[in-house]
Chains A and B, each alone.
Chain A
């Protein structure tokens, strides 16, 4: 594995970047700031493309639609906002949650936005119609929803109540797994067979989706009280996670050995990170700065 280096470093001027997200094809990224704004960047060219202002409080998460025409974002102001990318205007504002909305994502076709909130609910928003109420609300969790991952027919929700819940639309079933620790972030491998859970005990656990068995555990990073995120490399070979120490850890998925450590900023937690969907690029956020990591294009 060739060495990953910082390709680009961007000062977002957003006080703190709460989340950084690649768009669907990885050409752009979104940063959600504590300054109530969302910024759309081209990280490769280090260009700020657009700023989306309209939230009344810190923006906690955002996601771009599959055609990159819309952005959905959620905020501490309890609202979920659907943005038009080109005009920068909010298209719809959903006010169904009773508390801060912590995470939001689109489904595969970007016809629904799914948001999780501190009010322990997961809400499905129909972004196609003009309906203002959630289409469905999942109330199974007994504590804050920390993250949501959506595949073509499944919704994985992680909650502070130490459970991971997998809702299978196809079967009409909800599988809840007791993890034993607060799950701060959940992602799925690209083959859809495993989920990778960042736990508050300072470990990342790899679970088999079908059996619910623990396949592997990745440790070495420092969690503290941060809601660290994780990512899976584009070829499912590595598990990536930030750390409170300001480093980014790469673990081999099979051997669970730490293969790489990228230093973003010493002793400043790397909370949010996002991996390029198809290529070996990683974007990490640490306080006000985001960094794009990758292999420098061969100049020679």
Chain B
């Protein structure tokens, strides 16, 4: 701001400008201050606030604390003769009188203590106990506190309710009442009269009784306390009564309106002003208006002709025969103390000495329960056997009648089958020794199963026989069980069936959830290893022999691939030899935790795994659509009917960016396929896919589906589909936008591929099986619908698709239905039967867009992915 500038403009300036800053000078942000301004001084001109900003006090004696010489810090000194005093220093010790003065930091002045200040006791502060706030108990209980004057009066014979002073006769008392000396304002005499009217009347009547020279205590002095008026309402008005507004105590109000606590109670006798303070609308001069806001109640009405209710009451009290004076006979009888009957004993309770503990086996008195499945009858031995404990040899054998059943032979058979020395052979002799029988489940290895009918050895034997040979059992029994009625036989059969299901060994139930370990687990490093040179099968007999003879060399040498970690190579300064990394992955496997979170959280991070994901998913999807080569077809046909989920109701498998539980299942299935025979593998995969679909329907949102469709399109028609080829990961999967929005690239590309696909079509048709289901045909309809008719504009198509997605599955083909129905026959000839049931809703939609697509191409894709999965 130079002067020349400001001169030109009409600027009015306030204040004095700062000194111009020198060029070399660094402008300080701090405001310029006179040195004198920077110090606070006290009344004597002495400097205050020494080190005020470092926490010091302003000291007296010219900043020298305590003495004119200055503050001397006290030193600790203690000797045998003079023990050091424990002195506690207070902040006041370091203050001068200025600090203690009126405006100091610790002002001191005389004031009465709060106890004597005459003011209401201030709210006490409460201890910060575990429960904040005022202690509840103190709120509830308040100590009765009598003033010293009351105590003194009591000591002199005063009773509450009496007046103080000499005793008077009745006449004097009356007179005194009349000659009430009043200073200042007082209630006008007639008003007073009304208030005391009732009392006077009653007293008058009994005057004669007190004619003796009895001295009475004088009446208590009743101060007439005028309530201060501190509102601006009309005289005598008290706002809305809470009671009536809440509708709470209305009855009370109505019943004894005269005694209610509303302001300015007017006696009916007086017929004076009747302002009842209920609400607006009741004028001050409206005599005796009803409480218009009060609820109408029957208690407002008189039901008898005569005097007021009060008089009646009085009459009652006086007339009572056995009632002491001053007491009222209770109108209601006292509630009786309820008496409860003793609890009823259970039906089958048997009183007995309480000597047996509950851990002992039940005595003979306990009746055997109905023959259920025996689950609840596990004895200690059975439990022990379940837990794999050695059964304690029983001393007492319960005699059991020999049974005519041919159980002996069957048991032998079972023993033969199991190839084990299982003790159930002697069921008849020792039925409780071992509670398991081996279950031979078709070809599965024999496993132990619980014996549900152990309480009935005959039945158990029959059950075992049943387990052994289910078909034979039924027919066999026809012959040898004449004694039992047919109905019973059937019932037992059903029972056995259920039991067999229920007590199926765990391996059976869980079998399909686990795969066998391909390799034995790593040797537990914590197990104790025998100190020996046993070679754990590492060395062949030849090797051992050669080593013994000292012929080391080729025989004793084994070579194996070993892949050093890249970091090891780096640290050893050796180029990575490359090659496969055989066990590195599987080594890491045991570290994977199988918590649900890891399933949900593990996402695809690197490109590699992402491609794998994609191919896998498109694989699972195209498995549904593509026809297979002949050999795979037969297998899948057998598998197909197992598919419980109709494909039409399915959402398309989607590419999602995260590994879901579904994918993990897929991985599992892949592994399983490697290990198992192909036929089993296929079934398992497909079952797993079903599960995967289920998971998908749970976990994956519909919105993800949109991404998928374009990605699959280009592959559909390509002849290269037979070749496993990872997809282009970088390919943008989002629907085309901008100028590409309306161009159907797939269509542009498709004409090129048509020629090739025709050939394949023929080949496929031969391979396809003829098995068809209703669902499949339906799906096929969808497929073939795309073949005929003009193409629908893209925009319209998209809109339709969007709508369809929103709607339920059934409604996804609003327009083309007719056409599809026509196509059924054609399709039935062509289609590969079973696979088509895999066609899913989303697929169909995507295909609709591409009118010219051939249905067979779908099949190719399927076959391709079948291959992949294997």
Contact = CB atoms under 8 A, between A and B. Distances in A.
Interface in B437-496: none
B565 A135 contact: yes
A99 B524 CA distance: 11
B589 to A, nearest CB: 13
Interface stretch (A2-10, A177-185, A254-262, A292-300): A177-185
Nearest to B563: A172
Question: Contact size class for A?
Answer: 35 or more
A67 interface: no
B533 A212 contact: no
A143 B553 CA distance: 22
Given A161-B536, A167-B562, A169-B569, A176 B574 contact: no
A176 B567 contact: no
Interface stretch (B199-207, B218-226, B537-545, B746-754): B537-545
A178 B577 contact: no
Nearest to A201: B533
Contact of A142 (B523, B548, B571): B523
B583 to A, nearest CB: 8
B547 interface: yes
Interface string A132-156: 0001111110111000000011000
B572 A161 contact: no
A173 B523 contact: no
A293 B34 CA distance: 87
A153 B563 contact: no
Given A142-B523, A143-B529, A214 B552 contact: yes
Contact of B544 (A124, A144, A172, A178): A178
B561 interface: yes
B645 interface: no
B556 A212 contact: yes
Interface string A210-221: 011110010000
Nearest to A212: B557
A124 B565 CA distance: 10
B522 A180 contact: no
A217 B587 CA distance: 38
B571 A126 contact: yes
Nearest to A214: B552
Interface in B543-583: 543-544, 546-548, 550, 552-554, 556-565, 567-569, 571-574, 577-579
A152 B560 CA distance: 20
B547 A171 contact: no
B526 interface: yes
B558 A176 contact: yes
Contacts of A161: 533, 535-536, 538
A83 to B, nearest CB: 19
Interface residues of B, number: 41
A69 B546 CA distance: 46
A212 B569 contact: no
B525 interface: yes
Contacts of A160: 529, 531, 533
Secondary structure at chain B's binding surface: helix, strand, loop or mixed?
loop
A109 B535 CA distance: 35
Nearest to A142: B536
Contacts of B552: 177, 179, 207, 212-214
A211 B427 CA distance: 65
Contacts of B562: 138, 167-168, 172-174
A248 B476 CA distance: 84
A181 B552 CA distance: 12
A19 interface: no
A146 to B, nearest CB: 12
A276 to B, nearest CB: 25
Contact of B539 (A112, A168, A178): A178
Nearest to B529: A143
Contacts of B577: 169-172
A112 B543 CA distance: 34
Contact of A169 (B543, B546, B558, B574): B574
Contact of B561 (A163, A173, A182): A173
B533 A169 contact: no
Q: Which of A121, A153, A162, A167 has the most CB of B within 10 A?
A: A162
A73 interface: no
A179 B571 contact: no
A167 B577 CA distance: 12
Q: Which of B526, B544, B565 has the most CB of A within 10 A?
A: B565
A175 interface: yes
Contact of A124 (B529, B539, B550, B568): B568
B407 to A, nearest CB: 48
Interface string A188-221: 0000000000001000000100011110010000
Interface string B822-860: 000000000000000000000000000000000000000
Contacts of B554: 211-212
A9 B80 CA distance: 59
A1 interface: no
B509 to A, nearest CB: 34
A150 to B, nearest CB: 9
Given A160-B533, A174-B562, A213 B553 contact: yes
B556 A128 contact: no
A142 B539 CA distance: 11
Interface in B512-532: 522-523, 525-526, 529, 531
Given A170-B574, A180-B547, A181-B533, A98 B564 contact: no
B557 A174 contact: no
A207 B547 CA distance: 12
B616 to A, nearest CB: 29
Contacts of A121: 525
B556 to A, nearest CB: 4
A298 B561 CA distance: 53
A178 B559 contact: no
B571 A109 contact: yes
A135 to B, nearest CB: 5
A138 B561 CA distance: 12
A167 B550 CA distance: 23
A176 B560 contact: yes
A102 to B, nearest CB: 13
A173 B309 CA distance: 117
Contacts of B567: 126, 135-136
A107 interface: yes
A234 interface: no
A132 B797 CA distance: 58
Nearest to A152: B572
Contacts of A107: 571-572
Contacts of B550: 214, 217
Interface string B577-617: 11100000001000000000000000000000000000000
A98 B535 CA distance: 22
A8 B632 CA distance: 81
B566 to A, nearest CB: 9
Given A162-B535, A180-B547, A212-B553, A111 B571 contact: yes
Given A153-B574, A163-B538, A178 B543 contact: yes
A112 to B, nearest CB: 5
B561 A172 contact: yes
B571 to A, nearest CB: 4
B522 A139 contact: yes
A169 B564 contact: yes
22 contacts: A107-B572, A109-B571, A109-B573, A112-B568, A121-B525, A126-B571, A142-B536, A161-B533, A162-B535, A162-B539, A163-B538, A170-B574, A172-B578, A175-B559, A176-B559, A178-B546, A179-B556, A181-B533, A207-B552, A212-B556, A213-B553, A217-B550
6 closest pairs, A vs B, by CB? A180-B547, A172-B577, A119-B525, A174-B562, A212-B557, A136-B565
Given A161-B536, A180-B533, A214-B552, 4 more contacts: A112-B571, A163-B538, A163-B539, A172-B563
Interface of A: 98-99, 107-109, 111-112, 118-121, 124, 126, 128, 135-140, 142-144, 152-153, 160-163, 167-182, 200, 207, 211-214, 217
